[in-house]
């Protein structure tokens, strides 16, 4: 994929029930690749309570908060920093609406319709703005440096000078 516009980053999280289901995880990974995303970073982790509370802080007063925090810390998740033109919009369209039942009716081919179980266990998360990407990545992948990405890696990705490691599920710069 060669592009003139700078690539946009988004954060995608595969929730614990997806990571524990090889079929679901592989299907979502395939969807990511088929839709032209580069996987800039890939990180499997069990989210710590403090991370989850910080990540979902805006929902603290909502009825589902404790259920969400408990679920998100219950087992391994995978966080992907994805890149492509219009990454945020495209990823959110692929995921479908947050509410799984609505999704199954209105967007039956979406990720959440196929792999979501409930509104809390809706398979995936996706950032909703550039500001959210920065905030969320700082919580889930704190070692990622946006300035280094923009100056050093983004031009290489934009020009297709990357290779893909299927086992690690990540693209990396190809230096030849």
Q: Which of 125, 148, 171, 174 is catalytic?
A: 125
The kind and range of the H/E element at 34 are helix 22-34
Annotation says 17 is catalytic: no
Distances (CA, A) of 118 to 12, 23, 64, 91, 121: 18, 18, 12, 20, 5
Say how far apart CA 81 and CA 52 lie, in whole Å: 18
Q: Tokens for 90?
A: 């495209």
How many residues are given for the chain? 176
Provide the annotated active-site residues: 125
């Amino acid at each position: 994929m060669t592009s003139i516009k700078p690539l946009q980053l988004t954060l995608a999280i595969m929730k614990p029930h997806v990571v524990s289901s090889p079929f679901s995880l592989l299907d979502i990974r395939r969807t990511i690749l088929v839709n032209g995303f580069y996987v800039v970073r890939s990180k499997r982790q069990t989210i710590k309570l403090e991370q989850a509370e910080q990540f979902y802080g805006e929902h603290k007063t909502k009825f589902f908060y404790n259920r969400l925090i408990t679920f998100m810390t219950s087992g391994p998740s995978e966080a992907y920093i994805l890149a492509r033109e219009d990454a945020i919009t495209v990823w959110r369209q692929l995921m479908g609406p947050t509410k799984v039942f609505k999704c199954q009716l209105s967007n039956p081919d979406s990720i959440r319709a196929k792999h979501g179980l409930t509104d809390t266990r809706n398979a995936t998360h996706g950032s909703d703005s550039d500001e959210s990407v920065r905030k969320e990545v700082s919580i889930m992948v704190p070692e990622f440096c946006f300035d280094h990405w923009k100056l050093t890696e983004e031009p290489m990705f934009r020009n297709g000078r990357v290779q893909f490691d299927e086992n690690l599920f990540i693209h990396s710069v190809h230096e030849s």
